Amino acid sequence: ARSKAYFLKKGDRRMQALTCLKQSTVLSNLGDTSAASSAAFEGLDLAPADAVSIRMRLEGNLSITHTWMEGTLSDVVKSCQRIAVEARSRGWEHFAAIAFHNLGTALRHMGRTGEAIRNLQFAAAFWADSPVNPFADNSELTLALLAAGKAAEASSIADRAVVRTSPWPRPNAEAIYGKASVALYLGRFHEASEIAGRAMQDSTRLGPTGDLLRALLAESQWLEGQRQDLPIQSRALDQRQLAVLAPAHALTAHAGGDCSGECLRHAEILKRWDERGARHTATVGLVKIGSIALEHKGNRALRLAVDALRRTKEDGTFRDVRWWLRLYAKHLLRLSRVQDASELIAATAPADPEGWRDSTIQALPHIDVARRAPLLDALVRTGNSETLAHLRRMDGDDIGEARRVLAHRHAPRLYVRSFGSLSLHKGSWAAPALKIERKRMRTLLGLLVAYANSTLTRDIVLDAMWPESDPGSAINSLNQTVFQLRRAIDPDYRDGDSPMYIISNVDQVQLNPDFVITDLQEYRRFARNVRSNGAHASPAAEATIDLIRGEFLAELRYDDWAQRLQTAIHSEVRATLITIAEGGSTVPADTAVRAACALTELDPYDEAAQIAMARQLDLSGKRVAGRRSLERFIERLERDLDEKASPTLIAALRALGAPSGSNDV
């Protein structure tokens, strides 16, 4: 009708245009779309292209008005898809963009979020060609992106839309609605209220968009804790928005404080829209109304809330409604008494652990053991150290098992140094060393480190540490030492409740690989990277050198078992470090010198390491320093070991030039 009126007006047939527009509008409002269509075209002498254009626009309008209100959203989708294809085939990209926008809107309400985003992005790309555009509010695209959890992208699009629609009040209000929706989605309720409130200062020019802003303002204030002076909800100007407005109408009905259930009737609107295909919008709205329903007594209200939880689980819409679900958490004990509700809550809570954790902890002691299993499992999956502290004040075998799992999951890692001084560090390598003063505790720790990657039986431990004791005494000594070492690691250690850093049973004794990391294990991991990447300056090479701070189990070198292991491990370490130290031009001189120094920590009389160090000093321009280091090494050999320098050592010294007393540098 508007299209026909436009053409009549262009031909100075203004009165005919006005009559046509009124007649078609009345017929359309009465639901007689066929007559409206005839009225729109009657009396027009149009070119074929203009006729097709008018028909297409009319069909598009009907698909999102009459079909939207009377048919199903699937019908809307089919109609918009057909119009979009025909418009693109004729090169009418503007009509196609409108069709894709309407298609995306319908798909979003249906919960087909991915498809909605693709269609809305196509429309947005067309309208992005000009710096300002009244069609570029992109509020629907913003909402679809939020439904997909893409808040950052939604925020960016909403901000640009506010700028690009600034010359037009209503499109700009729609863009602002998108921006406020982002703030609400992120839990910034006060910011959302302020954004919506500012946009509504001149609401007379906003049309149906004013209804959306009022609804968002009401929801933001409710979530912020304001239950007074909610914006009054008038009759919807656009009946297509009924499902979106229903929760705000319910909030307003309930806010007075004397609501006897009137708020719940708005759920019927959502159920009707659900039947017509608006699954996502209906689910989100029912969750919001369900949070109000829980403030009413009676089974009807409780069933509504539980059904909303069930739909949320089925649809996976936790992100969209997490702030409303936090209101459910306050009624967890009441909800748990409904069949299967515990399972629904257990599926909901992990999506927002901060919102559910405290309520779950408070309710657990009052819920039957048979029904609290799903809740306890969800709490274990999302619990933290504070959760563990609360559970320690509760009784029950199931609670005890949950404590054990949580204790193990949140246990700080233990780091053991065995090159150089034997030490334990809790939380990181840089943490202060734990005090382990008793000799047999340190010996057991060294034995556990040496066998960290292999099976260490009790018999091996007993033979190594108490070879002359009778079996009973030796086993008792082992048990005491294990317990003392556990208490040194964790002063509050309790069997079955605390993390078990040391595993000890009838078959074996070992460090728990889930919690304990040794420098020997780390060395081997880094050394594999050095070997696979070649001898070049890499983080793995630097990390390998950092770990070697002296002899392996230096303080236990006089124990027979330690001597054998020390020889084997030193040989293993030397093979890696000498590769780095002798790397030549492929390794920075500083790195190579550090590798050679680490080798001399293992064996100060390692000739190859001394030669490699001197050569690397020479390559870095420190020829005098390199030559002097070899001279001092030769002197030490003669003084400490009464040995003469080998031909290889003498050749290396000569290669470095004249003696240190010479004038050359």
pLDDT tens, residue by residue, 402-460: 888 888 888 889 999 999 889 999 999 999 999 998 999 999 999 999 998 788 899 99
E strand or H helix at 425:
strand 423-426
Euclidean distance between CA atoms 529 and 533, whole angstroms: 6
Mean pLDDT score across all residues of the chain:
85
445 within 8 A of 436, measured Cβ to Cβ: yes
- Share in percent of the chain as helix, strand, coil (round to 5): 70, 5, 25
In whole angstroms, give the CA distance from residue 122 to residue 207.
26
Q: Quick one: which of 500, 490, 506, 504 has its CA closest to 444? A: 504
3-state secondary structure of 432: coil
The DSSP string of 143-165 is HHHHHTT-HHHHHHHHHHHHHHT
Cα distances (Å, whole numbers) of residue 253 to 233, 256, 259, 298, 662: 9, 7, 7, 18, 101
pLDDT for the residue 6: 46
d(CA 623, CA 328): 76
Give CA–CA dist 104/280, Å, rounded.
13
pLDDT at position 186 is 96
> What pLDDT does 414 receive?
94
CB–CB of 450/556 below 8 Å?
A: no
Q: What per-residue confidence (pLDDT) applies to 10?
A: 46
CA angle 509, 512, 518 (to 5 degrees): 105
Per DSSP, helices labelled H in 383-420 are: 385-391, 397-409
Tokens read off for 451: 């066998």
What pLDDT is stored for residue 64 in this prediction? 63
pLDDT at 273: 94
Q: In the numeric block, which tokens belong to residue 59?
A: 């069909």
Residue ranges in the chain whose pLDDT is less than 70: 1-69, 228-235, 533-537, 584-586, 658-665
Q: What is the pLDDT of residue 232?
A: 62
Decide: 268 and 305 in contact? Cβ < 8 Å: no
Per-residue pLDDT at 444: 94
CA distances from 503 to 385, 461, 483, 649 (A): 22, 13, 11, 49
Structure tokens at 645: 């320098």
Contact partners, residue 337, CB within 8 Å, separation at least 6: 371
**In DSSP terms, which residues pair with 502 in a beta bridge?**
511
Task: Give the integer Cα–Cα distance in Å for 244 and 108.
Answer: 12
- What pLDDT, on the 0 to 100 scale, is given for residue 619? 84
Task: Identify the DSSP state of 503.
Answer: E
Q: How far apart are CA 58 and CA 75, in angstroms?
A: 16
Sign of CA dihedral 234, 238, 242, 247: negative
Residues in the chain: 665
